[in-house]
Amino acid sequence: MCSGPWLDRWLPLIAQREIASPVLEIGCGFGDDTLTLIRAGLKVMAFDLSPECVAIAQQRAPEAQIECRDTRGPWPEAANNLELVLASLSLHYFPWDETRNIVHRIWSSLRPGALFLCRLNSIEDVNFGAGQGELIEANF
């Protein structure tokens, strides 16, 4: 997924937390956000569905643990009791029931007081495809 400056605004909040556990990045794409997190001094375990994206992200961020996984399938074994989970433009591709299940899994993987940073496309943003394509269910 493309990063741009969106994550930069959250780095001061992340730094205040002194996060020691690895960050779980769901849907890392080409590793833009992965690199931002590593440059902020964080350990990152990330995954993406695309083997091509994973290969590029692994080359760009060899310090990170990056795997090819489906968000709906098993997550890395260490994905529990986390202090930070990041999902940038990776959770709005699923029917509502699946989205709820994924969010529940994220919630269950976080320790109390942890951060969950999530960026989504709006269903009203016609600049990014809203209203185009075949309707699968309401708002999807």
* CATH code of the domain containing 98: 3.40.50.150
Domain range holding 80? 18-120
Asked if the structure places residue 131 within a domain, the reply is no
Q: What is the pLDDT of residue 93?
A: 78
Which residue's structure tokens are 């009791």?
81
- Is 66 in contact with 90 (CB distance < 8 Å)? no
Q: Residue 1: its pLDDT value, please?
A: 44
How confident is the model at residue 5, as a pLDDT? 79
Count of domains forming the chain: 1
Angle at 51 between CA 50 and CA 56, to 5 degrees: 100
Strand ranges across the sheet with 65-68:
65-68, 44-48, 23-26, 82-88, 110-119
Residues of the chain with pLDDT under 70: 1-4, 122-140
Q: What tens digit of pLDDT does each residue of 112-127 get?
A: 999 999 987 766 665 5
Check residue 78 and give its pLDDT.
85
pLDDT at 3: 45
Contacts of 119 (CB under 8 A, 6+ apart): 6, 87, 88, 89
* Inside any domain, residue 89: yes
